[in-house]
């Protein structure tokens, strides 16, 4: 479950208010696992998917249109 404005899909701004960059959608890693999300000049911007056990699984999900 996501909070309103936490993801691009739930109305997070498509451009970072702090650095002005358009975050890039890709597979990223956190301590919880790999996820589809965005990253801008400030750092992690949004998490658009659940977590995956490997970067390969996250990239495969990204290629399939992933599940939020």
For 18, the domain range is 8-64
Note the pLDDT of residue 33: 95
1 in a structural domain = no
Do you know the residue count of the chain?
68
37 in a structural domain = yes
pTM, to two decimals: 0.76
24 in a structural domain = yes
Q: What is the distance between the alpha carbons of residues 6 and 13, in angstroms, rounded to a whole number?
A: 9
17 in a structural domain = yes
Q: What is the distance between the alpha carbons of residues 56 and 31, in angstroms, rounded to a whole number?
A: 16
Do 42 and 24 contact (CB within 8 A), yes or no? no
Mean pLDDT of the chain: 86
Task: Give pLDDT tens digits for 16-41.
Answer: 889 999 988 899 999 999 999 998 99
Closest CA to 37 of 51, 54, 25: 25
Note the pLDDT of residue 1: 56
Note the pLDDT of residue 63: 82
3 in a structural domain = no
């Amino acid at each position: 479950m996501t909070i309103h404005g936490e993801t691009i899909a739930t109305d997070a701004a498509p451009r970072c208010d702090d650095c002005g960059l358009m975050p890039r959608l890709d597979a990223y890693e956190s301590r919880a696992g790999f996820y589809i999300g965005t990253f801008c000049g400030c750092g992690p911007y949004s998490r658009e998917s659940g977590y995956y056990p490997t970067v390969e699984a996250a990239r495969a999900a990204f290629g399939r249109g992933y599940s939020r």
